Chains A and B, each alone.
Chain A
Amino acid sequence: MRAAFNKELLAIAKKDPRVHMILADIGYGEIEGFANAFPERFINCGVAEQNMTGVACGVAMEGNIAITYSIANFPTLRCLEQIRNDVCYHNANVKIVIIGGGMAYGPLGISHHSTEDLAIMRALPNMVVIAPCDIPEAIEATRAMMAYKGPVYYRCGYKKEPNIYDSPVKFKIGRANIISDGSDATMIFAGTIGYNCKLAVEQLARDGVKCRLVSMHTVKPLDVETVKRAATETGAILTVEEHNICGGLGSAVAEALMDSGAGNIPFKRLALPDVNVTKIGSQKWLCDEYGLGVKHIVAAVKEILK
């Protein structure tokens, strides 16, 4: 997914001279295309994420679009105050792109996981939060992000994500996509964990449970209408995210359900259980270990339908 993102960004930058890339010494093997094509719109700030974000804000304040880009939580948590005070307060046209959302960098360990990002980024005023689930959606999300004026957080995957959509992807910020329909329950996910969700929905179908599958690619602003419709039309909702249980997609959906008066339905959030991820392994293995495997998702839907 990161290769697809970089390719699409480069294509956009060829047409739009406002696009700048502001790095913190991360991006080997991916960012060279941009750096070589547009050296005047590229800067490597060194391992200095606070400066990267401040510089990006200064670049954006001069009428440009500035991309900050790094691994997992590097461009968010290290420089959170710069994102809050500089980017969000000034509504600066800065796009914060992370590579390896969730536990995509599995065996590198917790320092390279991004598992609180959705909660923290969506708590910031003016911030749009996007988490594409597969490569076609990531490409469309990149176009939508670049066309949007203002701060965006973009949780990119890593590499070789399988496709989730069967048909061409339509992408509008703030409007969820129904991947497949169903009437017994709705599964709402954000990001690349969607593939496990898709496999779970297929298993559930074989077991006689018709589950609607929704890619909530925009975690903020949340598509409240789609959540409400899921509640009234299917009567049960499971949220799935490769993220801590606190404050992410599941929390956002729960808030929407309660605020809209549609919360009186069977509901469950599947997420990391508020523990530090200390086990060592690949993203897939870690998801299985921490309760986000296909079997866990299938079991969770069956549980809320009991």
Chain B
Amino acid sequence: MNEQESLECRRLAHRARLHCLRMVHKGQSGHIGSMLSCAEILSVMYLRIMRNIKPDDADNPERDRLIFSKGHGGGALFATLAELGYFPKEWLDTYYQDAGKLSGHISHHINGVEFSTGSLGHGMPVAAGMAMVGYRAHKKHRIFCVVSDGDCNAGSTWEAIMLAGQHGWDNLTMIVDYNRLQALGRSEDVIDLEPLDVKLRDFGWAAKVVEDGHDVQQLEEVLSSVPLESGKPSAVICRTIKGKGVSFMEDNFNWHYGPVTAKQYEQAVAELNAKGL
């Protein structure tokens, strides 16, 4: 990826962050930390990795599919899709509001959203089913599933991991937005997933850790190399920071739920804009 392409990824993530802050502030809703955590993952996926995706042809059978399992962070996916022209950006201002277009968890009723989620542990089984069908029919499209730390607490996620590993569906990639904070505390204090890459390899997956899940170069390098091993599903574990980009939200689990006041919103926007993207 050249400097211009890298800049485009960073810009898309930056714009998505600004949208998310505005959406959460206007809607007085939560989950801003989870949204800011995956902005670069989504910008790199949609600008650099996924094939045959077009806003005006979102059902193209040859498209790569992205299941966004951490539905509570779906504001980031809505913002990314709006920036890419999947639906009018004005809809973002109706997020979480009466008669709004966009709900607090993502919905397939919105163009570009592959699958509705919201309760954790649902994305991976569905992604595995899609992967099985594509793999057996020798289709070229890939299935990606973005999961959270909380998703990795759910038994159903591991049921799907075991099944995909058993059958070697290498058209399937699980992307972990590994910010290591969940609703009630640090993941290491709730359910410590470490060493996650080792666990996944033990279940027949190939796994790589992206040390900085906000570095678009690092993300692109690993995500563009899937399948990491032929004959195995791939796990890309992205070390991220919950609330990334806003100093007082970073790595602070209070921003799993906390709504954003007007003053906090102004400060957050000023901080993001000061970064010069």
Contacts and interface: CB of A to CB of B under 8 A. Distances in A.
A54 B127 CA distance: 8
B124 interface: yes
B129 A55 contact: yes
Nearest to B134: A62
B128 interface: yes
Given A40-B136, A85-B119, A55 B128 contact: yes
A90 B126 CA distance: 12
A171 to B, nearest CB: 29
Of A55, A62, A85, chain B has the most CB atoms within 10 Å of the CB of A55
B129 A54 contact: yes
A45 interface: yes
Given A50-B159, A51-B156, A51-B160, A59 B130 contact: yes
B151 to A, nearest CB: 12
Interface string B154-193: 0110011011000100000000000000000000000000
Q: How many interface residues does chain A have, given as a range?
A: 20 to 34
B252 to A, nearest CB: 30
A111 B129 CA distance: 28
Contacts of B130: 58-59, 61-62
Contact of B126 (A20, A40, A57): A57
B118 A46 contact: no
Contacts of A86: 115, 122, 125-126
B119 A57 contact: no
A148 interface: no
Give the interface size bracket for B toward A. 20 to 34
B234 interface: no
A225 to B, nearest CB: 33
A61 B115 contact: yes
Interface string A11-49: 000000000101000000000000000001001011010
Interface string A57-91: 11111101010000000000000011001100110
Contacts of B122: 54, 81-82, 85-86
B136 to A, nearest CB: 5
Given A81-B119, A82-B125, A89-B116, A48 B159 contact: yes
Contacts of A50: 121, 125, 155-156, 159
Contacts of B167: 43
A84 to B, nearest CB: 9
B125 A90 contact: no
B169 to A, nearest CB: 11
A164 B121 CA distance: 44
A22 B116 CA distance: 21
Nearest to A55: B129
A53 interface: yes
Contact of A90 (B116, B121, B127, B163): B116
Nearest to B162: A46
Given A50-B156, A55-B129, A85 B163 contact: no
A90 B123 CA distance: 13
A272 interface: no
A56 interface: yes
Given A85-B116, A90-B116, A51 B133 contact: no
B52 to A, nearest CB: 15
A107 B177 CA distance: 48
Nearest to A89: B116
Nearest to A57: B126
A46 B127 CA distance: 17
B116 A55 contact: no
Nearest to A61: B130
Nearest to A22: B129
Contacts of A40: 136
B163 A61 contact: no
A50 B125 CA distance: 8
A66 B156 CA distance: 19
A20 B129 CA distance: 11
Contacts of B207: none
Contacts of A53: 125
B108 interface: yes
A77 to B, nearest CB: 15
B132 interface: yes
Interface string B107-120: 01000000111110
A62 B139 CA distance: 12
A80 to B, nearest CB: 11
B129 A59 contact: yes
A58 B126 contact: yes
A54 B118 contact: no
A55 B155 contact: no
Contact of B125 (A20, A46, A55, A64): A55
Interface of A: 20, 22, 40, 43, 45-46, 48, 50-51, 53-62, 64, 66, 81-82, 85-86, 89-90
7 contacts: A43-B163, A46-B162, A51-B128, A55-B132, A59-B129, A59-B130, A86-B122
Given A50-B121, A54-B126, 14 more contacts: A22-B129, A48-B159, A48-B162, A50-B125, A51-B159, A57-B126, A58-B128, A58-B130, A58-B133, A59-B133, A61-B130, A81-B122, A86-B115, A90-B116
